[in-house]
Copies of this chain bind each other. A is one copy, B any other.
């Protein structure tokens, strides 16, 4: 029997038409779909022949252990199946793709990757704001607030770069994040929060750093949300503010 293969596929932020054409073609050839719970569940309609395995993981909730997911992918691939591991957003930003690639390669299984749209960029598209507006910055940093050793990111170093900050998995500790950043960035630094970016459930908030935590609470923002901070956000669309207020 031939060994199968695994594709790590970035499903984008929600709307199925934000999948790449390559992702759509790949889904149609899958034998097994392993579905992250941040991916749009309707994605299964693009793989009608595939066995679907739901392997959701979410901080603080009941979840499928990472090593179980990895062993399951290995088992299907070694049995000759074509496994497509569907991840919300971009396959190579957060989401433990690195560990999955290491594990599968160690078992001699071929792994390839299909990019997807990550939520910070989908959020920026909705806000109508470049994350690297050259009047304000020369780059953007994507960082997770959630580390496996439970440490905090080095906010001082991040602030010192002058890049726009796109903070993933930060909503549950938005008070601490904003408090830390206020020690290094001006109180009036533009900030935004987008929940379920790029999906039909999307909600947007445009504010400033010293009001970020209070506004996020007042408007009931929760996971999954991306937090964007920096002067490039000064260009975020005003109708996004109205939308948040109406929520």
Contacts and interface: CB of A to CB of B under 8 A. Distances in A.
B115 A115 contact: no
B132 A94 contact: yes
Interface residues of A, number: 63
Contacts of A112: 125, 128
- Copies of the polypeptide in the assembly: 2
A160 B141 CA distance: 13
Contacts of A15: 22
B19 A132 contact: no
A125 B113 contact: yes
Contacts of A148: 134
Nearest to A102: B235
21 contacts: A17-B20, A18-B22, A20-B20, A20-B117, A91-B125, A92-B125, A92-B130, A92-B132, A93-B130, A93-B132, A98-B232, A112-B125, A113-B124, A113-B128, A115-B122, A116-B117, A117-B117, A118-B121, A138-B147, A141-B141, A157-B160
B157 A90 contact: no
Given A22-B18, A232-B98, A144 B132 contact: yes
Nearest to A133: B98
A158 interface: yes
A102 B133 CA distance: 10
Interface in A93-120: 93-94, 96-99, 101-102, 111-118
A184 B171 CA distance: 32
Contacts of A163: 141, 143
Contacts of A143: 138-139, 163
Interface string A127-151: 0111111111011111110011000
Contacts of A113: 124-125, 128
Interface in A164-201: 198
